[in-house]
Structure 1
Amino acid sequence: MIRITLVLALLLMASAISLVTVRFQTRELFVASERLKSQAHELDTEWRRLQLERAELARNARIDSLARTELHLVPVTPDRTIYLQEPAAGRTPAGGRP
């Protein structure tokens, strides 16, 4: 009888220790999960901000303005256009390729 009581007491202690361990691990996993959810929210917010920034940088008016001011480009006009003619049919260009 004492042996059975002792075995049951040891099993009860092992069960209690495993219960405490499982609860501790559950709390750690919950904290990690909440931390990851917060990080995912921050990354989503950053992604949206970057999408807005990309849309702003890709606007045609902004590109046109930068081309005119920083690169000093001017609009194409017929008098500034250079037309290239295709070589005649039996002649090859200077590089030797047709």
Structure 2
Amino acid sequence: MIRLTLFLAFLLMASALSLVTVRFQTRELFVASERLKSHAHELDAEWRRLQLERAELARNARIDSLARTDLHLVSVTPDRTIYLQQPAPVAQEGLP
């Protein structure tokens, strides 16, 4: 009877220790999960900011302004346009 009591006491202690270990691991995993959720939220906010920045950089007005100021480009006018005419193809005899 004493052996059975000691065995059951040992099982009770092992069960209590495993319960404490599982709860500790659960808390650690919960904290890690919350930390990852927070990081994901930060990354999502950064992604949205980058999308807005990309849209701003791709605006036509900004591209036009940079072309005029940095590259010194000007708009095409008819007096500055050169038209090239391609000669008409000559038909060769004997070819269908």
Equivalences for residues 1-98 of structure 1 within 5 A:
1-86=1-86, 89=89
Give deviations 1:56-93, integer Å, cap 9, x for gaps: 11111111111000010011122323334446536xxx
How many residue pairs end up in the alignment?
91
Q: In 1, Cα distance between the equivalents of 2:17 and 2:87?
A: 90
**Cα RMSD (Å):** 1.7
What residue in structure 2 maps to residue 96 of structure 1?
A: none
- SS where residue 26 of structure 1 aligns? helix
- The one-letter code matched in structure 1 to 2:27 is R
Instruction: Return the TM-score normalized by structure 1.
Output: 0.82
Instruction: Return the TM-score normalized by structure 2.
Output: 0.84
- The one-letter code matched in structure 1 to 2:26 is T
Gap runs ≥5 in structure 1: 91-98
Q: In 2, Cα distance between the equivalents of 1:18 and 1:84?
A: 88
- SS where residue 53 of structure 1 aligns? helix
Gap runs ≥5 in structure 2: 91-96
Question: What percent identity do the matched residue pairs reach?
Answer: 88
Structure 1 residue ranges (4+ consecutive) displaced by more than 2 angstroms after TM superposition: 78-90
